[in-house]
Amino acid sequence: MAPALPIVLVLSLLACGDGSAGDAASGNHDRSTELPEGDSADVTTGDEGADASVRVDSSAVDGGRGVAPSGTDAQAAHDAGAQSSGPDASSAGEADAGGAVEPPSGSLLIVGVGAWGLRGRSADGASWDFCGNPSTGDDHTPDLLRNVGYGGGVFVAVGGDSNSMVMRSVDGAHWEEDLHPTTACDGELYPASCTNWMGGVAHGDGVWLAGGGNGALMRSTDGGRSWEGLHPDPRPPAVRDIAYGSGRFVVGADQCVVGVSGDDGDSWTLHTLWEHSFSVAHGDGTVIAWGARWNGSGFDRACFVSADAGESFQACDALVAESDAFAHDGTRWIAAAAGGHATSPDGLNWTPQAGDDVPGALLHDGARWLGRSGAQVRSATDPVSWATLATDVDGFRAWTVGLVHDANLPVTGLSPCQDSR
């Protein structure tokens, strides 16, 4: 039986503006401007994580950020609401005699992605296996992986340059690649889903949603195997991240936009909260949006909180107004704060706590916190004291944690990805 894991989600909204720099061909610029710092035939990859038989809401989500998260360097984990049953809370499992559905059995896996097809995997955060392609100097390549999500036993990585690279795996080692090639959307309305890079991906209630350059959006209902373009009006600007919680997909986009959709991407409510960039986290019906933008000599910061799942926002409590990391573990919020960290049951009222040096890119796997600081991976059962697990995990743009289903193993007909870096 799978371990019971709370789910935490976080996403980053980057690059407010007109998108004139960097990824100009796709109407966006890259994250790096913010801070100074294939086809497979006869592949058997087990079940697709179909979860239509179990309706999930804010108490059980396992998508976009994974039971966590998919995210970026400013991102935490993927949440969802009240107490959840773990990374596979929305997956169809076995019903017991009383009719309750038990999550599938499996083992936890952390997966990270980056430039030139970089993929890393670890069962414990200390020992890592990597695969990837040789560096070409410029990381804006068709195999650039910008984000990764988890849902229903499946990891999906997205990215690209003038293409929408999609990779899919059930074990983090064997990957189906280029599942939405540039030939997949002939005749599609602008912006075409297969000729724009994808910046975010998330899973919720059996649906995968991805978005990217020029606000291109696409959806999968077969476990990430095939994708269809979406053309809502209005649509978000260029999408950098997507997360799922409380029955809604939330996107972080250029031009300072937070987009919320309750119908799997068919329609959107767009919010503009600040003149610069944001990250967003969701937990138990609360959304926190915070931003940090380098001004040449320091950071301009802002923070807003919504107690109604993104319907309306107010300024954050002064204690955490300049925090640069927020995450929810299924029960409480944590955030970095002066002199240590702070905790909150609702995202509105915060209490200062001891313990400093809280890392970024937080995940919660149900038993402990995980975070990244540069090339370090660190962990803590309580965010007061952090231990270093690894010091050579570099190059991730995003990471997530999910459950590898025993029923999906072994993977046959597909070779493990190779490390050619």
237-254 residues labelled b (16+ CB within 10 A) or e (exposed): bbbbbbbbbbbbbbbbbb
pLDDT in tens, 101-147: 677 899 999 999 999 999 999 999 999 999 999 999 899 999 999 99
**Is the pLDDT score of 304 beyond 70?**
yes
The vertex-237 CA angle with 176 and 187, nearest 5°, equals: 60
3 state DSSP class of 279: strand
Q: In degrees rounded to 5, what are phi and psi of residue 278?
A: -135, 160
> Taking the domains of the chain in order of start, what are their residue ranges?
8-408
3 state DSSP class of 291: strand
Q: Which of 78-87, 295-304, 308-317, 400-409 has the weakest average pLDDT?
A: 78-87
pLDDT band at 277 (very low <50, low <70, confident <90, very high): low
Enter the tokens of residue 30.
């890259």
Cα 349 to the center of its chain, rounded Å: 26
- Structure confidence at residue 53 (pLDDT): 23
Cα 49 to the center of its chain, rounded Å: 18
Share of the chain above pLDDT 70, in %: 75
Cβ atoms of residues 289 and 303 within 8 Å: yes
- Structure confidence at residue 293 (pLDDT): 80
pLDDT in tens, 222-236: 999 999 999 999 999
pLDDT band at 348 (very low <50, low <70, confident <90, very high): very high
Q: Which of 49-53, 61-65, 91-95, 352-356 has the weakest average pLDDT?
A: 49-53
Architecture of the structural domain at 8-408? 7 Propeller (2.130)
Q: Which of 77, 104, 76, 75 is nearest to 90 (CA)?
A: 104
Counting Cα atoms < 13 Å in the Cβ hemisphere of 414 gives 25
pLDDT band at 210 (very low <50, low <70, confident <90, very high): very high
Residues in contact with 378: Cβ distance below 8 Å, sequence separation at least 6, in sequence order: 359, 370, 371, 372, 386, 387, 388, 389
**Is the pLDDT score of 86 beyond 60?**
no
Residues in contact with 339: Cβ distance below 8 Å, sequence separation at least 6, in sequence order: 352, 354, 356
Residues in contact with 312: Cβ distance below 8 Å, sequence separation at least 6, in sequence order: 306
- Structure confidence at residue 202 (pLDDT): 92
